[in-house]
Amino acid sequence: MNLIVAVDRNWAIGKDNKLLVSIPDDMKFFRETTTGKVVVMGRKTLESFPNSKPLSNRVNIVLTRDMNYDAKGAVVVHSKEELDKELEKYNSDDIYIIGGESIYRLMLDECDRAFVTYVDYAYDADTYFPNLDEMSDWKLAEESDEQTYYDIEFYFRTYTR
């Protein structure tokens, strides 16, 4: 299983249910990587999308404790067990965990590849991703050359374990 995330220098991922920064090349990478695949997210992540609509051309799976939650065009599950059962239907290589913080933490141990857009800046944030550089079982396998968007420097990194 995979995960895909954009983090800042402090491994922050968001503030007030929004991304810290919107970088067109990162959005393009996310779209190209996940199109035709399975994306797993929490309710708040789904609600952060335009019109709170699932991502097109993907199987969207939303994990929420709200038993009455309905998301048209998405599969809604209410527990880790229910999520695991749903994910058995798909090839593990085609599954991408896309957030937010609690979903990443819940599923991190089941992932063996992480696509991280690392933004070399520290933003004001309220949600974080575990720092893979400090976890002995994760290794930086690839890193792109420095990318820039205006004055923002960022890198595409792939971690494996």
Single-letter residue type at 55: L
Q: Dmax of the chain from CA atoms?
A: 46
What whole-number distance in Å separates Cα of residue 137 and Cα of residue 99?
21
What pLDDT, on the 0 to 100 scale, is given for residue 80?
Answer: 97
Provide the whole-model pTM. Answer: 0.96
What pLDDT, on the 0 to 100 scale, is given for residue 127?
Answer: 97
Which mean pLDDT values do the consecutive 10-residue runs of the chain (161 residues) have? 98 96 97 98 95 96 96 97 98 98 98 98 98 98 98 98 96
Q: How far apart are the first and last CA of the chain?
A: 11
What pLDDT, on the 0 to 100 scale, is given for residue 117?
Answer: 98
What pLDDT, on the 0 to 100 scale, is given for residue 68?
Answer: 96
What pLDDT, on the 0 to 100 scale, is given for residue 114?
Answer: 98
CATH of 23-160, one of 3.30.300.170, 3.40.50.10240, 3.40.430.10, 3.40.50.720: 3.40.430.10
Chain length of the chain: 161
Q: Where are the domains of the chain?
A: 23-160
